[in-house]
């Protein structure tokens, strides 16, 4: 704890608070997202000290994930994908005139969930790093593959589309000089592509500009804001479900730690678990049950700490936002992985400290400011969208100071928009893009080492951890193929008979 506090000074706290306030609005306004904000921040913060950059980004991340619940509760439109489940009970509760109570519960359990996830990060990161030291090149490749296979399966109904997104991300990551030999690949003579495609224009395009185009496409949708009646909610009443929240936070943390899963999956699982465990809720689930809001919010916020564990210790991001945070690390010359905590303790402490400060900022902003921002979250889209488009231009230009990146951003934005239209998830593409170079170099090194060994197969897959990871990856891949799924169901049916 003293180590964590050693990085905190007034400037650091102000950075977190600035990020938290930005996160509150970004998360709450439908059309803006935490991923988009962090992507834009990468380009702004790359000249800053890494502690300042991490402080602001953690503020946006922690409070942004929570504030998705504000619009979910008040206008029935989740501000973030992880708040989709919150709408199920949050909005019905608001319609009954209990919007303040719903926001209060969402704030309290987002706070406890975030705190739980960050504590888990603080406690588990070092042991996981020790295990990660035993990873071979093949293990890293398989872990990344496992993450991509998982994210492909959870982010869309059609697994093939999820995996195709992964492949497109891998292709983008391969453009430029190859990581081992320095040979040009897929540049097609374009000089500007020799250095590869920067992560920032791709992130800004896929998350920012694609959102702009999607909002323009769906701009006739109306929003009804419910009036806020400030009622009285006691802390004792809100904390009635604390035992269950520990369970749902654990679900959130574990799902967050799974490479590729993330908040939306965690909140769905936690919600279903709450439904299963609470036999007689005061109000039925789906009609304004406090337990529903609690389960969704505690789990999606606990995901934050969970998602940071594989990112910091294995350089494998847990979700899209941690993929962007990973690029912040690379931009600042930091290399996450098993040695990260040992070699860069101050960066690790900055993340923890910023996360904890952001948790308290979440509590204060959630209780005091969130009920008052219902007018802001309905800022006219015809004013907000042009501003976001300009921000995308600034953000994509700022990383390399060249207009070529702006053109790439527009191209990626259009691609992202089309992907959304045709139900191709963007998150697997981003994860693949970030992990692609690491996968490529680790795979080729593993193959090279194996080719000179006596028994190549044993050299590649002989390690116990490699066997476990291979089995896990194969299970995820096979269990998501419709034909094997049917075959398994038939097999299980026969066994039951």
Partner 1 sequence: MKNKIHSLIIEGVLFCGSGLGLLSYSLVSYGKSFNKDWAQSPYLFPLIVGLAMTVLSAWLIGEGVLAGRKFAGGDGREENDPQKDPAGGGDAKGKTGGVAAALLLCGIYYLALAELKIPYITVGIFSFLYTFSTFEVATVVFLAAMMAFLGVRKLPVLLFVPFGITLFLSIAFRAMLHVLLP
- What does the binding site for partner 1 look like in residue numbers (CB under 8 A)? 43-44, 47, 158, 160-161, 163-164, 167, 170-171, 174, 178, 180-181, 183, 185-186, 212-213, 216-221, 380-383, 385-387, 389-391, 393-394, 397-398, 401, 403, 406-407, 410, 414, 417, 421-423, 439-440, 443-444, 447-448, 450-451, 482
d(CA 143, CA 445): 15
Q: How far is the CB of 90 from partner 1 (least distance, A)?
A: 22
Residue nearer to partner 1 on the CB measure, 254 or 391:
391
**What are the two backbone dihedrals, phi and then psi, of residue 177, each rounded to the nearest 5 degrees?**
-75, 135
Residue entry with tokens 């395009």: 205
Q: In what helix (H) or strand (E) does residue 361 lie, and over which residues does it extend?
A: helix 345-364
Helices (H) and strands (E) in the chain, counts: 23, 2
Helix axis angle, 320-331 to 290-314, nearest 10°? 30
Nearest-approach distance from CB 437 to partner 1, in angstroms:
10
- Using DSSP, state whether 93 is helix, strand or coil: helix
Tell me the closest approach of the beta carbon of residue 436 to partner 1, in angstroms.
8
- Tell which residue, 302, 329, 389, 368, has the closest CA to residue 112: 302
Nearest approach in angstroms of CB 167 to partner 1 is: 4
Residue 275 burial (10 A CB sphere; 0-12, 13-18, 19+): middle
Both tokens of 468, joined, read: 């476990």
Least distance in Å: CB of 390 to partner 1? 6
State which residue, 291 or 440, has the beta carbon closest to partner 1. 440
Smallest distance, partner 1 to C-beta of residue 419, A: 11
Choose between 171 and 239: whose C-beta lies nearer to partner 1.
171
Considering the complex, what minimum distance in angstroms separates the CB of residue 118 from partner 1? Answer: 28
Cβ proximity to partner 1: between 239 and 411 the closer is 411
Tokens 């500007």 -> residue: 192
Sign of the alpha-carbon dihedral angle for 269, 270, 273, 279: negative
Least CB distance from residue 216 to partner 1, whole Å? Answer: 5
Cβ at position 52, least distance to partner 1 in Å: 11
Helices 381-398 and 34-45 sit at what angle, rounded to 10 degrees?
40
Nearer of residues 383 and 457 to partner 1, judged by Cβ: 383
Residue 395 Cβ, how far from partner 1 at the closest point, in Å?
A: 9
Q: Please give the C-alpha separations between residue 381 and each of 32, 77, 85, 377, 486, in angstroms, as whole numbers.
A: 11, 14, 24, 10, 45
- Find the DSSP H helices in 225-337: 235-238, 242-257, 263-277, 290-314, 320-331
Distance CA 356, CA 350 (A): 10
Residue (308 or 438) nearer to partner 1, CB = 438
Contact 417, 210 (CB under 8 A): yes
Please identify, using beta-carbon distances, which residue of 162 and 256 lies nearer to partner 1.
162
C-alpha 16: how far from its chain's center? 19
Question: Shortest Cβ distance from residue 82 to partner 1 (Å)?
Answer: 20
In whole angstroms, give the CA distance from residue 322 to residue 435. Answer: 12
Token digits of residue 165 = 């997104």
- Residue 184 phi/psi, 5° resolution? -70, 135
Question: By C-alpha distance, which of 57, 347, 409, 350 is closest to 200?
Answer: 409
On the CB side of 203, CA atoms within 13 Å amount to 30
Q: Is 278 helix (H, G, I), strand (E, B) or coil?
A: coil
Which residue lies nearer to partner 1 by CB, 241 or 381?
381
* For partner 1, the closer CB: 343 or 382: 382
Report the nearest approach of partner 1 to the CB of residue 435 (Å): 12
CB distance 439 to 171 below 8 Å:
no
127 or 482: whose CB is closer to partner 1? Answer: 482
Of 220 and 234, nearer to partner 1 (C-beta) is 220
Residue whose CB is less far from partner 1, 125 or 212: 212
């Amino acid at each position: 704890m003293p180590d964590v506090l050693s990085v905190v000074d007034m400037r650091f706290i102000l950075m977190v608070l600035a990020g938290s306030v930005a996160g509150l609005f970004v998360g709450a306004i439908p059309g803006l997202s935490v991923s988009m904000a962090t992507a834009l921040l990468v380009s702004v913060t790359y000249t800053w000290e890494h502690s300042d950059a991490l402080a602001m980004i953690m503020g946006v991340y922690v409070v942004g994930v929570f504030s998705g619940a504000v619009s979910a509760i008040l206008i029935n439109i989740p501000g973030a994908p992880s708040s989709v489940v919150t709408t199920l009970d949050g909005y019905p509760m608001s319609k009954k005139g209990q919007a303040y109570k719903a926001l209060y519960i969402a704030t309290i359990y987002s706070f406890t969930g975030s705190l739980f996830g960050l504590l888990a990060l603080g406690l588990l990161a070092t042991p996981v790093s020790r295990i990660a030291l035993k990873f071979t090149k093949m293990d890293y490749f398989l872990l990344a593959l496992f993450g991509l296979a998982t994210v492909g399966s959870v982010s869309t109904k059609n697994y093939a589309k999820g995996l195709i997104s992964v492949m497109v991300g891998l292709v983008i990551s391969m453009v430029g000089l190859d990581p081992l030999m320095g040979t040009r690949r897929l540049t097609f003579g374009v000089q500007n592509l020799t250095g590869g495609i920067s992560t920032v224009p791709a992130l800004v395009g896929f998350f920012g500009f694609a959102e702009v185009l999607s909002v323009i496409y769906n701009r006739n949708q109306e929003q009804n804001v419910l009036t806020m009646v400030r009622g009285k909610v006691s802390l004792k009443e809100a904390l009635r479900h604390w035992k269950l929240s520990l369970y749902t936070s654990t679900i959130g943390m574990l799902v967050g730690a799974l490479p590729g899963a993330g908040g939306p999956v965690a909140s769905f699982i936690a919600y279903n678990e709450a439904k299963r465990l609470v036999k007689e809720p005061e109000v039925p689930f789906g009609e304004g049950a406090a337990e529903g809001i609690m389960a969704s919010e505690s789990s999606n916020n606990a995901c934050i700490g969970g998602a940071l564990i594989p990112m910091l210790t294995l350089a494998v991001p847990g979700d899209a936002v941690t993929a962007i945070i990973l690029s912040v690390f690379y931009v600042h010359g930091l290399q996450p992985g098993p040695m990260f905590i040992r070699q860069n303790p101050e960066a690790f402490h900055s993340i923890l400290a910023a996360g904890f400060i952001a948790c308290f900022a979440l509590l204060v902003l959630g209780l005091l400011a969130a009920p008052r921002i219902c007018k802001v979250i309905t800022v006219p889209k015809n004013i907000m969208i042009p501003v976001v488009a300009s921000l995308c231009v600034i953000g994509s230009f700022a990383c390399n100071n060249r207009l070529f990146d702006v053109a790439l951003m527009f191209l990626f934005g259009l691609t992202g928009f089309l992907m959304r239209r045709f139900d191709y998830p963007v998150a697997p593409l981003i994860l693949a893009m970030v992990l692609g170079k690491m996968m490529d170099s680790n795979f080729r090194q593993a193959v090279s080492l194996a080719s000179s060994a006596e028994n190549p197969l044993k050299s590649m897959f002989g390690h116990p951890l490699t066997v476990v990871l291979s089995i896990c990856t194969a299970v995820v891949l096979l269990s998501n193929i419709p034909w094997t799924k049917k075959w398994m169901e038939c097999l299980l049916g026969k066994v039951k008979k």
